[in-house]
Amino acid sequence: MKRLFVLVLSILTLLAPCVVSAQPLAILPSNTSIQFKVRNLGIMNVTGSFGTFRGTLDLDEADITRSKVEVSIETASINTGIDRRDKHLRSADFFDVARYPAMRFSSTALEKLGEDRLKLTGNLTIRGISRPVVLTVEAQPIEGRADFTRSALATATINRQDFGVSYGAVIGDEVQITITTRLKKP
């Protein structure tokens, strides 16, 4: 459940390294998936996603390391496929959506690791607590499509305790976030 905010971070990471044009690229929910996975009861994984988010990617084509990513994810849009669990995740025990309706990611650095790999660093804010997060991003050009520029995969692991999500001793602390996206030209 705390993995949800990790997903948000991943999405942000994917968007930033996939930018290769001087124009801003659209981050569209129809072309983006923000997913998380966390251990439960020590032997099984709980997976889920966030369905409502928005973001901007300001790409500096001349120097990609100066590009910026800003993402906001609505915490109430969490979906694990089990209504009762989702309602609990929205409660004060976890995301406390009444007080904290959004998670936010704001990039602070982008570093090239190779031809199609990037390291995206930024601040993730969940439940009003901001912590630095690092996402590893793989970006590939999309051939033969004039409307899309790149596809990207971003991954990160966060500790839910770092963001004040400490409910449930049988829930693992590490939340794996995976973000996939296709970046669309405006």
Residues 96-141 have pLDDT tens digits of: 999 999 999 999 999 989 888 999 999 999 999 999 999 999 977 6
Q: Which range among 33-42, 77-86, 154-163 shows the weakest confidence by mean pLDDT?
A: 33-42
Which has the higher per-residue pLDDT, 165 or 1?
A: 165
In which region does residue 42 sit, left (phi positive, over 0), alpha (psi from -120 to 50) or beta (all else)?
Answer: left
Average pLDDT, the chain: 82
- What is the domain-level CATH number for residue 27? 2.40.128.110
Question: d(Cα 46, Cα 89) in Å, to the nearest integer?
Answer: 12
Please give the pLDDT value at position 145: 62
Which has the higher per-residue pLDDT, 148 or 111?
A: 111
* Best CA proximity match to 77, nearest among 12, 156, 5: 5
Tell me the CA end-to-end span of the chain in Å, nearest whole number. Answer: 33
pLDDT band for position 6 (cuts 50, 70, 90): very low
Residue located via tokens 């979906």: 79
- 19: which DSSP letter? -
**Domain around 116:** 3-184
Number of structural domains found in the chain:
1
Residues 81-93 have pLDDT tens digits of: 999 999 999 999 9
pTM summary value:
0.80
Instruction: Kindly tell me if the per-residue pLDDT of 152 is higher than 70.
Output: yes
Instruction: Kindly tell me if the per-residue pLDDT of 26 is higher than 80.
Output: no
Residues 26/147, Cβ–Cβ less than 8 Å: no
What is the arithmetic mean of pLDDT over 14-39? 70
Q: What 3-state DSSP class applies to 127?
A: coil
